[in-house]
Structure 1
Amino acid sequence: MARIPYADPAQPDLREAAETIRASRRKIGHLHRMLLHAPPVAQGWITMFDAVRWNSTLSGKIRELMMCRVAAINDAPYEWEAHAPIALKEGATQAQLDALRDWHGSDAFDATERAALAYCDAMTRHVHVPDDVAAAVRALFPPRELVELTVTIAGYNCVSRVLEALEINGADPLPEA
């Protein structure tokens, strides 16, 4: 169970934020129910992550592989379970998902994916990105995509940290919204 109860989106003071979430996600899941405890944060979260997910020029496959890699590094099963199916829809293979936890030893990834994964690892594990890793992604991604790649990795590190700190679990029961 989560560390605190999930918010009730029917509460009058949460309705506006709940509608923002519904308009974007169609339903209010566990993470968003938790975020509703802070309505301005919930609304800002939706705005930012809608930009990352739906208004980015970064390929969906790279985007979702990065989200899954962050989930794997941070041991965030909710994040993995949410994004692995999307990664498959965006063109990742099951072999890539299976190899993602130890991608260095796999031939399932092309040079662009490997550079992005190295960048993701550096950002997630060490924060500071070594010059050679940064040069590799800079050579492969135009500036806008490099910023989008960076924000995707940073953003989903934020997601996993919220999920894990508050012990948000997709199996937790939620009352009807």
Structure 2
Amino acid sequence: MPRFTALTPEAMTPRQREVAEAIGAGARGGLRGPFPAWLHSPDMADALQRAGRFMRWGSSFPARLSELAILITAKRYRARYEWFAHHPLAIEGGLKPEIAEAVRLGQQPQDMAPDEAAVHRFCTELHADGDVSDAAFDTAKAMFGETGVVELLGICGYYTAVGLTLNVARVPLPDGTPDPFAA
């Protein structure tokens, strides 16, 4: 059961309506996921949706790698809706289903490309330790440059905020969708 009060257009403040329209008009195609909760603070929602637009569509990472980072984040926080939303995007972006499945199960994926292995190591260490080893940092920096390392941190940070919001708001999976993290 969702925890936040649903904001109908009639109940929204002018600023909430403005931000809701901006979110709904973009490639997201509507107010889903964390946005209904975030709209209770419209300025925060606006700032986060702009950051999210960059993380999802503007970073230097191809979908295969950014979505891998998002799946690792979803697994870390058991963010069911985040996994539901991004798993298909990862596969469409070129991530092998076997890699996604290993992430979902908390296993070390096999047969990753070098760039996938660098993202996996960096993001897994980051979420496990709140930091990364020199080896993980140096590998990511050599492969993606400093810009890429910063963007990878941004993807993990943004999608941590998304996943935690989805969990706390109790955003449900669509009817009939199995829990990806059920025991």
- Whether TM-score is above 0.5 comes out as yes
- Say which SS state the counterpart of residue 34 (structure 2) adopts: helix
Q: CA deviation at 1:12?
A: 4.3
Instruction: Name the structure 1 match of 2:24.
Output: 22
Instruction: Name the structure 1 match of 2:101.
Output: 98
- Structure 1 residues 16 and 87: alpha-carbon distance in aligned structure 2, compared to 1, 3 A threshold: same
1:33-70 Cα shifts (integer Å, max 9, x gaps)? 11111111111111100011111111111000110111
- Structure 1 residues 91 and 9: alpha-carbon distance in aligned structure 2, compared to 1, 3 A threshold: farther
Q: Which moved more, 1:77-86 or 1:25-34?
A: 25-34
Instruction: Name the structure 2 match of 1:140.
Output: 143
Contact 1:8 1:33 in 2 (8 A): no
Instruction: Name the structure 1 match of 2:178.
Output: none
Pairwise CA RMSD: 1.7
Q: CA deviation at 1:86?
A: 0.6
- Give the gaps of 5 or more residues in structure 1: 173-177
4+ residue runs over 6 A deviation: none
- Say which SS state the counterpart of residue 141 (structure 1) adopts: helix
Among 120, 123, 141, the alignment partner of 1:120 is 123
- Give the gaps of 5 or more residues in structure 2: 176-183
CA distance in 2, matches of 1:54, 1:11: 31
1:70-121 Cα shifts (integer Å, max 9, x gaps)? 11121111100000011111111222211223342x3231222112111101
Instruction: Name the structure 1 match of 2:73.
Output: 70
Tell me the TM-score normalised to structure 1 length.
Answer: 0.88
Tell me the TM-score normalised to structure 2 length.
Answer: 0.86
